[in-house]
């Protein structure tokens, strides 16, 4: 079968042809987990796709939260995106250095939360771009400020109270994008002080299973993506919440399901950084 929403991906060839097109804005959303000893902002400064701006999920976030990169309010998002030179009418093309999982899909989901539908991922991101010998630059971006106005769509977001209620009701399936070892509690969490395990009743599908490791982390085809979700036990006819460590790789599961036509997947914003840090939340291993 084909993707139900093929327009959610663009190829490196398409982006090369459209780098200078009016209304096309390119966003580098690269993010690294704590302890990776890599600096996404410095790597962007060293090389990025021409015309791209850097979207820092730890900057475009909820001020004052103890949790990492929580969704900002609409005013904050609008101001930050305006400063990046992005308008409501623009087509936003997002990429990262990890095939979309860190954190292009998170930024894709964030734009959708704020009612921006014309947002897409560069298929394979930086890996495909470099493998195909596409142009790169170290020129610092200087975008002209825009006037962006986002409207939050709460249906695509879940909070801790909704997640606790769902443990009791089981109305929505929860699928966790972390590794099998973190899900089962046999590997430590990267954030100090966080308990190990998973939300009771949740399913597990490590996000990288949606990407083709033999093809520079481009997205797998529709049949393969459908098969890995089915293998994880997910019923596409029922509501779905995606979770992970901090709401980043969960967004890749939401993106994979969007490609298959399931457009209403919610992401648990706090994810395991919130659930595992609290002492009043039930855990399974």
| Active site (annotated) includes residue 244 | yes
Give the CA dihedral 260, 266, 267, 270, nearest 10 degrees. -170
- How far, in whole angstroms, is CA 18 from its chain's centroid? 23
Please state whether beta strands 9-10 and 119-122 pair in parallel, antiparallel, or not at all (unpaired). Answer: parallel
Alpha carbon separation from 193 to 106, 180, 186, 199, 278 (Å, rounded): 24, 20, 15, 17, 10
Contact 97, 191 (CB under 8 A): no
Q: What is the DSSP letter of 149?
A: -
Burial of 108 (0-12, 13-18, 19+ CB in 10 A): buried
| Phi, psi (rounded to 5 degrees) for 51 | 85, -5
The catalytic residue among 26, 177, 218, 244 is 244
Contact 112, 40 (CB under 8 A): no
| Phi, psi (rounded to 5 degrees) for 281 | -110, 135
| Phi, psi (rounded to 5 degrees) for 186 | -95, -10
Burial of 258 (0-12, 13-18, 19+ CB in 10 A): buried
Active-site residue list: 244
């Amino acid at each position: 079968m084909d993707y139900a929403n093929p327009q959610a991906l663009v190829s490196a060839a398409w982006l090369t042809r459209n780098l200078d097109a009016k209304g096309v804005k390119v966003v580098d959303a690269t993010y690294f987990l704590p302890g990776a000893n890599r600096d996404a902002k410095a790597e962007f400064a060293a090389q990025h796709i021409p015309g791209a701006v850097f979207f820092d999920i730890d900057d475009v976030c909820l001020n004052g939260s103890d949790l990492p990169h929580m969704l900002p309010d609409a005013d904050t998002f609008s101001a930050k995106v305006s400063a990046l030179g992005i308008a409501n009418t623009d087509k936003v093309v997002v990429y990262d250095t990890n095939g979309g999982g860190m954190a292009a899909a998170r930024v894709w989901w964030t734009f959708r939360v704020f009612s921006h539908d014309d947002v897409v991922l560069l298929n394979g991101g930086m890996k495909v771009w470099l493998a195909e010998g596409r142009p790169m630059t170290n020129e610092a971006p200087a975008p002209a400020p825009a006037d962006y106005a986002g409207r939050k769509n709460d249906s695509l977001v879940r909070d801790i109270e909704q997640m606790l209620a769902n443990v009791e009701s089981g109305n929505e399936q929860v699928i966790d994008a972390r590794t099998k070892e973190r899900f089962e509690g046999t590997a430590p969490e990267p954030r100090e002080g966080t308990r190990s395990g998973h939300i009771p009743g949740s399913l597990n599908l490590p996000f990288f299973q949606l990407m083709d490791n033999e093809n520079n982390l481009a997205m797998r085809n529709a049949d393969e993506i459908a098969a890995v979700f089915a293998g994880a036990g997910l019923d596409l006819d029922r509501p779905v919440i995606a979770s992970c460590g901090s709401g980043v790789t969960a967004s890749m599961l939401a993106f994979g399901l969007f490609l298959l036509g399931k457009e209403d997947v919610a992401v648990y914003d706090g994810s395991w950084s919130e659930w595992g840090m609290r002492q009043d939340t039930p855990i399974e291993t």
